[in-house]
Amino acid sequence: MNSKQVHRFVVSYLESKECHFIEKSPVGVTVKLSPDADRALSNRPYYWSFVDRTGSPPETMTYRWSFENPAMSDRMNASNVSYVLTESGRIIQEDVYFGSRRLHQLFGVVQQSGRCVTLFEEPPRGRLDPFASQPYTAWLGVNFKVGYECDMKREELYLWGVSLATGIIEERFMDKLKDRRLTPRLPANVHLLKNGLSLRKGMAQLEAALERRLRTADFSWAVEAEARRQDELERIRQYYDPMLEHMNHPDQMEQKEAVTARFKQREAEIDWQYKPRVSVSVLNCGIFHLPGLD
Amino acid sequence: MNTSIPPDNAPRKLHPLVDMHVDRSAFEDLERRTERNGPWDDWALYQLALEAEEANLVTDFHALRCLSLLPHFEPMPHQIDTARRVLHEMRGRAILADEVGLGKTIEAGLILKEYMIRGLVTKVLVLVPASLVLQWVRELNGKFDIPAVAQRKSYSWDNDIVVASMDTAKRDPHRQTLLDGEYDLIIVDEAHKLKNKRTGNYQFINELRKKYCLLLTATPVQNDLNELYNLITLLKPGQLGGEGDFAANFVAERRVPKNESKLQETLGQVMIRNRRSSGGVEFTKRLVTNVPLQLSAEEMALYEGVTDYVRKHAASENGDMASMLSLVTLQREVCSSRDAVFLTLINLFKKTTEDSPLRARIWELVELIKRIKANTKAEKTMELVRSLDDKAIIFTEYRATQEYLLKFFQEHNLAAVPYRGGMNRGKKDWMMELFRKRAQVMVATEAGGEGINLQFCHHVINFDLPWNPMRVEQRIGRVHRLGQTEDVQIFNLCTLGTIEEHIVHLLHEKINMFELVIGELDEIIQQFEKEDTLERRLAQLVLETADGEELRQKIDGLGDTLLQTKKRMQLENAT
């Protein structure tokens, strides 16, 4: 993410949370958070529980966020946060850049609050026949993240969708949604066709399809990681085995147990470090009602 | 097609070697919400969540992604190279053994950051000497945006990234807490303290459950090759074979290896040692200037008076070293400012009984102080700063001198800020900030301790000199360090005809310490001070010696010993 993308990202979030912009400039914003955004970002759980219990009107925080990349010379050792007092209260100034704590926090917040949706496409305006109703079918859209892990890691995203009417899988589902206008409310003059698949069935089909796809992936990374694992295991065997062999005297039983335990621990650590695995997780997902039958 | 979601989350086999694990909790959430008819999240947030994931996606196994997340910070090429090698060749278990001053902490920070970004590391334990805990926390937070906390209470261990002192960690109840845990990454700074495998430190680290592990030390071998063996066995048992194999294959004598190329090769798989001499790391020059000055007649009278007092009084202390040392301090203070010596004299005065004959003597000295109207050194410093026409940091040993200088500069319209050890963190940061943005001069009493980095300043003025060379080095190190882009000018003020002249002579002309390569000095001093500190040896010489010429010879002798140590060290490092 470059600073422009960060800027756009932050502003989109603030707008979606209906925050009040005091100032917008090409390189930053000054914003008074909405109560919702304040709860998510200001790290004041005690304050908010106080507001909730007493019902007193909340006073939200004001931030001035600069999206320019900060130079180290401007930061020295100190944190990138400073405070300004103005007539309207205290403003907290921060540098927000890709890698900063604030952006990291925002990423976490949107991942939590942009998790599940149900949406309808708005029918085109204008040529509305008040008596004709348009048929809509439902899609299950799921954004998967796939991680290939050993002592190293690589990730891929699969932004897939399945038609709950036909079971057809669309591999560029998010692209398909890109230029459509979506709304959380059922538009007028629209009727929803019955689903052929349950949500759960739809999900099972997506997962099965993804699994088939992943099977065809290149697994040389895993073969190499396994070779490293065996290599490491062999190395510690060469170290511990002779040591254990020489501990046969009854007096050494205790010592032998300790060394064996250490050996097992090392083995477990090596498995932990090298064992190749693939993890699939659902980032977010939703039900999308779109016109037509496909 | 008959597909269904497996009832449990049992892994599925994708490949003979690889299981697939599925986390579909977000989907289960969708099902629940469908049943209850909401609540539904915002479409804009849904898209932003995906955008966030795309930005954070680790698209390949090898790239060093952390660099793009640290826009404010540019590591040196050898540091980046080290991070890459540890990640890709050593698989996250390594000894970072750079010589002092090349940035081992930065290398460790890069590696940690990269693992965190890749989601391979969340739980981290950093074990360091107590004096370095805060410095580490600040480096990780400030430079790397890594939310590390210093361990203070038992519950601190619950944090993901904890920096703690080794001594605390290895003691119960902490010890047990840590042994019960599991750490994705453990970093041990000053790891040469783990060289003996019979010690508690060693066994503790050995028992901790860890995936990746970094050991940092500038001196992987101090006395014995076996130390190195132990260190590596801690990291990767078997790397150098069994204990017997190692001795048979690689050790000729305690400090002399055999089959060296084979040993180097095996070591190279677990240890990285960047050297200053191997180039790549360019430090700017240090230019040292002595500024000799003649004390005024009044100041010299005070110096002689105090010297006389010290000699006579020392004889009566019957070898009580502590109070003898404080007497020598009096002499050193006169060379700094009358304010410094005045304060000490008053304290001495208070300690004497009312009928003590010393009182009259002290009073005479105070009379001498009263006659002094001007501080020659301060005036000279003023002149110097004006001629530099640039930022300068002035170091003094004495608080009273510091106060005096600040007042003096203020009277002469020179913007100056103080800096001392007793200030709290916030105030220190503030002072640094003021110095950077507003003031031409910083007057500091403290150079050591944690993080003052003043690379924006290129002039160091030693108003007076500590007798401990390491402290002198620390002073200069605040300014002359990695990241300094210009040559650094160092000025030593030196009052002729006093002990100060001898000290400057020893440190500058004799052992040329100001121009030693960074890091060289501490090795030399470590060797040299095995018996007694240089500072105490110097004090003793001063007290034992009556006239200046004799003192000079004796200090020269001390300098020769230091030089020999240096030669020996250089010889050893060359092999």
- If one counts every other C-beta atom within 10 angstroms of the C-beta of residue B7, the result is 6
Would the pTM of this model clear 0.80, i.e. be above it?
no
User: pLDDT: is A158 or B307 the higher one?
Assistant: A158
**A83-101 tens-digit pLDDT:** 777 766 788 888 898 888 8
**A157-198 tens-digit pLDDT:** 999 999 999 999 999 999 999 889 999 998 888 888 888 899
Question: Do β-strands B271-272 and A153-163 pair in parallel, antiparallel, or remain unpaired?
Answer: unpaired
Diameter of chain B measured on Cα atoms: 109
B contacts of A158 (beta carbons < 8 Å):
none
Pick B23's closest partner by Cβ from A111, A182, A282. A282
- If one counts every other C-beta atom within 10 angstroms of the C-beta of residue A177, the result is 22
CA distances from residue B389 to B437, B459, B488 in whole angstroms, order as listed: 15, 10, 14
**A200-231 tens-digit pLDDT:** 999 999 999 999 999 999 999 999 999 999 99
CA distances from residue B474 to A72, B395, B481 in whole angstroms, order as listed: 22, 11, 10
Preceding omega of B173 cis (within 30 degrees of 0): yes
Q: Is residue B419 within 8 Å of B452, Cβ to Cβ? A: yes
Q: Of the given ranges (A133-137, B109-113, B230-234, B249-253), which has the lowest mean pLDDT?
A: B249-253
What pLDDT, on the 0 to 100 scale, is given for residue A71? 60
Q: What is the ipTM of this complex?
A: 0.91
* Closest CA relative to residue B378, chosen from B338, B332, B344: B338
* Mutation choice for A interface testing from B46, B54, B117 by most A CBs within 10 A: B46
Which residues numbered 197-256 in A keep a CB inside 8 Å of some CB on B?
A: 199-201, 203-205, 207-208, 211, 214-215, 217, 219, 221-223, 226, 228, 232, 235-240, 242-243
What pLDDT, on the 0 to 100 scale, is given for residue A77? 42
Q: At what angle do helices A220-245 and A253-274 cross, to 10 degrees?
A: 170
Q: Do A279 and B20 touch (CB under 8 A)?
A: yes
Q: Is residue B419 within 8 Å of B441, Cβ to Cβ? A: no
CA distances from residue B399 to B404, B419, B420 in whole angstroms, order as listed: 9, 10, 8
Check the CA dihedral B291-B297-B299-B302 and report its sign. positive
What pLDDT, on the 0 to 100 scale, is given for residue B1? 45
Rounded Cα gap, residues B31 and B358, in angstroms: 91
In a 3-state reduction of DSSP, which class is residue B31?
Answer: helix
Torsion-angle region of residue A55: left (phi > 0), alpha (psi -120 to 50) or beta? left
Rounded Cα gap, residues B18 and A211, in angstroms: 12
- In the block, tokens 């003096």 appear at B408
Check the CA dihedral A216-A222-A227-A233 and report its sign. negative
- In the block, tokens 């002592």 appear at A151
End-to-end Cα distance, chain B: 72
Rounded Cα gap, residues B368 and B338, in angstroms: 10
Q: How confident is the model at residue B447 (pLDDT cuts 50, 70, 90)?
A: low
What pLDDT, on the 0 to 100 scale, is given for residue B279? 62
- B570 phi/psi in degrees, rounded to 5: -65, -35
Question: Do β-strands B161-165 and B149-150 pair in parallel, antiparallel, or remain unpaired?
Answer: parallel
Residue type for position B568:
R
Q: At what angle do helices B338-351 and B321-336 cross, to 10 degrees?
A: 150
Q: Is A286 on the interface with B (CB under 8 A)?
A: yes
Structure tokens at B499: 């002990």
Mean pLDDT of the residues in chain B: 85
Q: Is A117 on the interface with B (CB under 8 A)?
A: yes
**A64-74 tens-digit pLDDT:** 999 887 664 45
Q: Which of B60-64, B240-244, B382-386, B430-434 has the highest mean pLDDT?
A: B382-386
- If one counts every other C-beta atom within 10 angstroms of the C-beta of residue A51, the result is 17
- If one counts every other C-beta atom within 10 angstroms of the C-beta of residue B28, the result is 16
- DSSP letter for each residue of B58-119: --SSS--GGGGG-TT----HHHHHHHHHHHHTSTTEEEE-PPTTS-HHHHHHHHHHHHHHTT
Q: Is residue B174 within 8 Å of B157, Cβ to Cβ? A: yes
Alpha helices in chain A (DSSP H): 3-16, 35-41, 45-54, 72-75, 101-113, 173-178, 199-215, 220-245, 253-274
**B385-441 tens-digit pLDDT:** 999 889 999 999 999 999 999 999 999 999 999 998 788 767 887 888 889 888 999
**B15-28 tens-digit pLDDT:** 889 999 999 999 99
CA distances from residue A169 to B22, B205, B415 in whole angstroms, order as listed: 19, 52, 72
Report the pLDDT averaged over residues A27-50: 92
* Mutation choice for A interface testing from B28, B31, B50, B111 by most A CBs within 10 A: B50
Pick A284's closest partner by Cβ from B3, B22, B46. B46
Q: How confident is the model at residue B444 (pLDDT cuts 50, 70, 90)?
A: very high
Report the pLDDT averaged over residues B443-448: 78
Residue type for position B19:
D
Pick B27's closest partner by Cβ from A72, A159, A282. A282
Q: How confident is the model at residue A120 (pLDDT cuts 50, 70, 90)?
A: very high
**Minimum CA–CA partner of A120 in chain B:** B43
A contacts of B111 (beta carbons < 8 Å):
none
Contacts of B327 (CB under 8 A, 6+ apart): B310, B313, B314, B317, B543
* Mutation choice for B interface testing from A19, A97, A151 by most B CBs within 10 A: A151
Rounded Cα gap, residues B82 and B96, in angstroms: 8
Check the CA dihedral A129-A130-A132-A137 and report its sign. positive
Rounded Cα gap, residues B481 and A167, in angstroms: 64
What pLDDT, on the 0 to 100 scale, is given for residue A78? 47
Residue type for position A30:
T
Q: Is residue B219 within 8 Å of B523, Cβ to Cβ? A: yes
Structure tokens at B466: 């500590």
Tell me the nearest-neighbour CA distance from B88 into chain A, angstroms: 8
Preceding omega of A242 cis (within 30 degrees of 0): no
Question: Do β-strands B18-23 and B93-96 pair in parallel, antiparallel, or remain unpaired?
Answer: unpaired
Rounded Cα gap, residues B15 and B517, in angstroms: 55
Structure tokens at B46: 């849904």
Q: Is residue A24 within 8 Å of A31, Cβ to Cβ? A: no
Half-sphere exposure of B368 (CA within 13 A, CB side): 25
Contacts of B352 (CB under 8 A, 6+ apart): B358, B359, B362
